[in-house]
């Protein structure tokens, strides 16, 4: 058994704390300060385009978690499209792998850019089509799988750069 003098461990721990007292903090004061995530982030929601979706259900078939529920009816509209009555994603089951986004043949599905969707109730994790509709203008798709969108998003905030800025002040 290794013998150590009593209190050495505490002293070592204190030295680490004291050393960090004189360093610039590398945390931000959330929620007052928010960082931009990566432009290609897979946020904790999906964004869906009502105008582009044909109701083909390829996304639901690609989802190994069974997180997407689609109900369609035949539509008398042009192009023989289905009418999408229900489009839901249960983000409680979704693992944000992005496979449904890659599978969509009509570019109607996107990973979201948001990361603040925690809920108190399990049922509130289900996104309805109204919640995730691109055309509402309230949802920002991420640049994941869509480089043309990534170009338009703000540059990711790197904590390392924030520290360098503070040290140069
Ligand atoms: S991101 Fe993955 S787990 Fe989530 S709905 Fe799409 S395929 Fe399913
Ligand atoms: S989001 Fe894409 S894959 Fe899913 S039903 Fe609509 S068109 Fe088909």
Nearest residue to 142 via CA among 167, 110, 117: 110
Residue 15 lies in a domain: no
Q: What is the pLDDT of residue 45?
A: 96
pLDDT in the model for residue 14: 94
Best residue among 58, 62, 83, 129 to mutate for probing ligand 2, ranked by most atoms within 8 Å of CB: 58
Cα 109 to Cα 9: distance, rounded to the nearest angstrom: 54
Question: Of the spans 15-24, 53-62, 72-81, 150-159, which averages the highest pLDDT?
Answer: 53-62
As for how many domains the chain has, the answer is: 1
Residue 146 counted as domain residue: yes
25 domain residue, yes or no? no
Q: Judge whether residue 16 has pLDDT over 60.
A: yes
What's the domain range around 117?
46-150
Of 46, 47, 51, 59, the residue with max ligand 2 atoms within 8 A of its CB, to mutate for a pocket test, comes to: 59
Does 7 fall in a domain?
no
Task: Pull the structure tokens for residue 52.
Answer: 């582009």
Does any domain span residue 28?
Answer: no
Quick check: CB of 99 below 6 Å from ligand 1?
A: yes
Using a 6 Å cutoff on CB, does residue 56 contact ligand 2?
A: yes
Is 167 domain-assigned? no
Mean pLDDT calculated for residue range 118-124:
94
Q: Is residue 119 part of a domain?
A: yes
pLDDT tens sequence across 67-85: 999 999 986 665 666 889 9
Whichever domain contains 88, its CATH number is 3.30.70.3270
Q: How far is the CA of 60 from the centre of ligand 2 (A)?
A: 8
| Residue 155 domain-assigned (yes or no) | no
CA distances from 62 to 84, 104, 146 (A): 18, 9, 18
Cα–ligand 2 centroid distance for 108 (angstroms): 6
The region, left, alpha or beta by phi > 0 then psi within -120 to 50, assigned to residue 3 is: beta
């Amino acid at each position: 058994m290794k013998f150590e003098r009593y209190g050495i461990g505490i002293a070592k721990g204190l030295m680490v704390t004291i050393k960090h007292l004189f360093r610039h903090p590398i945390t931000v004061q959330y929620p007052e300060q928010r960082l931009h995530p990566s432009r290609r982030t897979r946020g904790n929601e999906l964004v869906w385009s009502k105008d582009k979706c044909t109701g083909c259900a390829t996304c639901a078939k690609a989802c190994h978690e069974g997180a997407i529920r689609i109900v369609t009816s035949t539509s008398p509209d042009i192009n023989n499209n289905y009418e999408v009555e229900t489009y839901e994603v249960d983000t409680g089951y979704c693992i944000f792998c992005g496979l449904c986004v890659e599978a969509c043949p009509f570019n109607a599905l996107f990973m979201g850019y948001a990361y603040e969707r925690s809920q108190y109730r399990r049922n509130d994790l289900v996104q309805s089509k109204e919640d995730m509709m691109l055309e509402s203008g309230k949802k920002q798709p991420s640049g994941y799988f869509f480089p043309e969108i990534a170009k338009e998003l703000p540059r990711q905030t790197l904590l390392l750069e924030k520290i360098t800025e503070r040290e140069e002040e």
